[in-house]
Amino acid sequence: MDIRIGDIITMKKPHPCGEKRWLCLRTGADFRLRCMGCGHEVMVQRHKAEKNIKSVEHANPEE
């Protein structure tokens, strides 16, 4: 899955604050994500995050 820094990721299940969208801050073996609702940051293993991704909005779609 092609996920880059700055992409907005929509998850299948919402965060406890109610928001489903996350900003990608770091990629690699783990993702560092920031909740777009409350600003909470989490580190998630790549394979666990990819299972729960519904859609990805790329920050720079022309690249």
How many H-runs (helices) and E-runs (strands) does the chain carry? 1, 5
Residue 23 half-sphere exposure toward CB, CA atoms < 13 A: 11
pLDDT for 60 equals: 78
For residue 61, is pLDDT > 90? Answer: no
Average pLDDT over residues 34-61: 93
pLDDT at 43: 96
Quote the pTM value.
0.88
Domain boundaries, the chain: 8-57
Mean pLDDT of the chain: 93
Task: Give per-residue pLDDT as tens, 12-35.
Answer: 999 999 999 999 999 999 999 999
Q: Which two tokens stand for residue 47?
A: 């394979």
Torsion from C-alpha of 32, 12, 20, 33, nearest 10 degrees = 0
